[in-house]
Structure 1
Amino acid sequence: MKHALYPHRGPVPQDVIDAVEFELPAPGPGQVRVEVLAAAINPSDVLTLTGEYGMLPPLPAVGGNEGVGKVVELGSGVQGLAVGQTVLLPVGCGTWTTHLNADAAALVPLPEGADPRQLAMLTVNPPTAALLLSDILPLQAGDWVIQNAANSAVGGYLVQIARARGIHVVNVVRRESAVADVKASGADIVLVDGDDLAERVRDATGGAPIKLGIDAVGGAATGRIAAALASGGTVVNYGAMSGEPCALSPGELIFRGITLRGFWLAYWFKVTDAATRNALFADLVRQIATGALSARIQATYGLDDIKQAVAEAAAGERSGKILLLPNG
């Protein structure tokens, strides 16, 4: 057995983590042993390694916040799960590992036959995309939103979810080479960010009023998204790819009534009741299992190549998600 362990944090994420062998005790009462099938490497995982994320586990720690596995052993008293069953792993349990023990009650049974690589990306990005379209403003079919970082995993899910709901999306990327990938995901309008973004958005939409701006970049990009909104619109920020604070002019806030707010999925988990959380994930599982919702995968790595995998995940200009397949 191996897991990807980091004893400290540092500015170069791949330098602090290594694949090391370990021994796992037998599952205790109410626990099961899970063989990890696939685990994602998200931006939040990279920020956790550098110490810049909003919630950090005690050290030493095993990397990985989401993944999917197969039950291989049952502890005493476990009911409702069977050996061979595919399960969603608990958030933040250290999924970059070949095996782990988990409380049976914390595992979510998943449909058999679905692609485990797609299921492994279920916990973070799909609910973020879905909630950005439902919990910020009451959007209806025919409404317009604009998002930057449209070539990100969240951006790709948002395009698919919005299309199913009849919501129009203006998609903004930071480089011309990303346009084709976003269009391939089903996007109609894809623009490269720049100082004249608001004018090009008006031309592309025929001047349609845009109620919601979704920002994952921060810095001056936040202001460019705001400028493309109708008066009274809302910008929601859920990331800082630029590494800079959101920059929004007083003119947008005062004279046009633009609102800026944030979204963090971890906080949503804290304040939302279990029934609402379960309903959201049941719907997302159904869509992923049937192929109605999916994400691009750029590369998969084994656990021994964890340094290369993290380095690629941390690099820019990717066209898809980096996944770990700890058991091959």
Structure 2
Amino acid sequence: MKAKSVICHEFGKPEDVLYVVNRRVNPPAEGEVLVRMLLSPINPSDLIPVRGSYSHRISLPMVPGYEGVGVVEEVGTSVSQNLLGKRVLPLRGDGTWQDFVKVPSEWLVPIPPSINDQTAAQLYINPLTALVICQEVLCLGSGDVLLMNAAGSAIGRIFAQLSMIFGFQFIAVTRNSNDTQELLQLGAAHVIDTSCSSLKESVMEITSGRGVSAAIDSIGGIEGTQLVDCLQPHGNYLAIGLLSGIPIQWQEVSKRTAVNVKLFHLRHWNKQVSPYDWQEKFHQIMNFVKEQRLKITMPEIYFDLLNVREAVVEAESPNRKGKKVFLKMGHEDGSEK
């Protein structure tokens, strides 16, 4: 059987280096499951490796896509036949931007009927990252104040909601007022629009001069450095992204302040977590969704896998910031058996 896959043979602009090809799909080996993909979102984290930011650890050619939802089509030996036809998250296997994905059965995450495909497809990168940070990295709870830049993003919206669940105060930092009302409705205690307010002055006013206990930086550069000045002495600074492409000069920062600097990559957590803990985290996330304590941004537009180049351009359009673009899979078009 052959089916469509998005392939990247060289690093560069996603709209220039992504191709759709027909590849042979081999049966699952022992302990593996073959999943027929349904939907996969386009996240910034999907496109960063395509551009070559992680070229030192990524082998080409590669299939992009970190998350998505599908249906179990075939199982290998030693895997229960009861999985056939079940909706699942096929994570930690091949890239998800293809019609079929093979994955070890122990990492497969079953999806209950109460969760729709659009939500299920987005339960990995942002919700799991945010949950692990809250529970294990920063251990946030009552009395803690978390400051985060680029908070109008999908993961910023999730932190706003988790603040209501875990009881910490969330201060969202944005560059404009477009997301202010939504962030406040989701649970943010305050939203600071840096286009019209000083970040440090605003934070000190909100915290009565104490500063925040933790800060999350997704940007780096000047905006990331500004978060440091808002921290309490020995507060926790967590870097989770580098949207600006400009690293912070920590030697200079350390001369004038004392902060606990941490770096979080979900792949590092993945390497040390057990299958039980992995499943337990997803169980928590899905319970939050079923209880309507956590709402995931719904996709705004869909593209067929064949139109992946147009899809990535649309996903990165400045006018679509914070809105989701999805890829639809289906082996009826362009595949052969």
| Common fold by TM > 0.5 | yes
8 Å CA contact retained: 1:226, 1:248: no
Decide whether the 8 Å contact of 1:41 with 1:323 is kept in 2.
Answer: yes
1:319 aligns with 2:318: no
Distance (whole Å) between structure 2 residues aligned to residue 44 and residue 55 of structure 1: 16
Following TM superposition, by how much is the alpha carbon of 1:198 offset from its aligned partner in structure 2, in angstroms?
0.7
**Displacement after TM superposition at 1:158 (Å):** 1.0
- 1:42-53 correspondence runs (5 A): 42-53=43-54
The residue aligned with 2:239 is: 237
> Is 157-166 or 109-118 further displaced after alignment?
109-118
- The 2-side partners of 1:327 and 1:291 are apart by 30
TM-score of the pair, normalised by structure 2: 0.87
Task: Note the 1:97-246 alignment, pairs <5 A.
Answer: 97-193=98-194, 196-207=198-209, 209-246=211-248
Q: Deviations over 1:201-237 (max 9, x none)?
A: 2223444541001111100112211111222212111
Q: Which deviations, in whole Å up to 9, do the C-alpha atoms of 1:160-216 show, x marking residues without a partner?
A: 111111110110012333334433433231112368211012223444541001111
Q: CA RMSD in A?
A: 2.5
Q: Does 1:87 align with 2:99?
A: no
- Ranges in structure 1 where 5+ consecutive residues have no aligned partner: none
**Alpha-carbon distance between aligned partners in 1 of 2:139 and 2:23, rounded to the nearest angstrom:** 49
Matched residue type, 2:316: A
Task: Give the 3-state SS of the residue equivalent to 1:281 in structure 2.
Answer: helix
Q: CA contact under 8 A between 1:222 and 1:247: conserved in structure 2?
A: no
Deviation of residue 289 (structure 1)?
4.1
Instruction: Give the Cα separation in 2 of the matches to 1:203 and 1:227.
Output: 14
Q: Which moved more, 1:311-320 or 1:218-227?
A: 311-320
Q: Deviations over 1:147-170 (max 9, x none)?
A: 111111221111111111111011
Task: Tell whether the 8 Å contact from 1:295 to 1:321 is kept in structure 2 after alignment.
Answer: no
How far is the alpha carbon of 1:137 from its aligned partner? 3.4
> 1:282-307: per-residue Cα shift (whole Å, max 9, x none)?
21132234443232234332212211
| Percent of residue pairs bearing the same amino acid type | 28
- Local SS of the residue matching 1:201: helix
Q: For 2:105 and 2:73, locate their aligned partners in 1 and report how far apart those are by CA, in whole Å.
A: 12
Which residue of the partner structure matches residue 4 of structure 1? Answer: 6
Q: TM-score, structure 1 length as denominator?
A: 0.89
Q: Which residue of 2 aligns with 1:38?
A: 39
In the alignment, residue 97 of structure 1 is paired with which amino acid? Q
- In structure 2, what is the Cα distance between the partners aligned to 1:151 and 1:315? 15
Greater displacement, 213-222 / 125-134 = 125-134
Q: Greater CA deviation, 17-26 or 88-97?
A: 17-26
Moved more, 30-39 or 44-53: 30-39
Q: Any residues of structure 2 matched to 1:244-263 within 5 Å, and which?
A: 244-247=246-249, 250=252, 253-263=254-264
Between the two proteins, the alignment pairs up a number of residues equal to 326
Over 3 Å counting, the alpha-carbon distance change for 1:22 and 1:136 in structure 2 is closer
Which structure 2 segments of 5+ residues have no match?
332-337
Relative to structure 2, which stretch is displaced further, 91-100 or 288-297? 288-297
Higher mean C-alpha deviation, range 92-101 or range 143-152: 92-101
Contact 1:66 1:92 in 2 (8 A): no
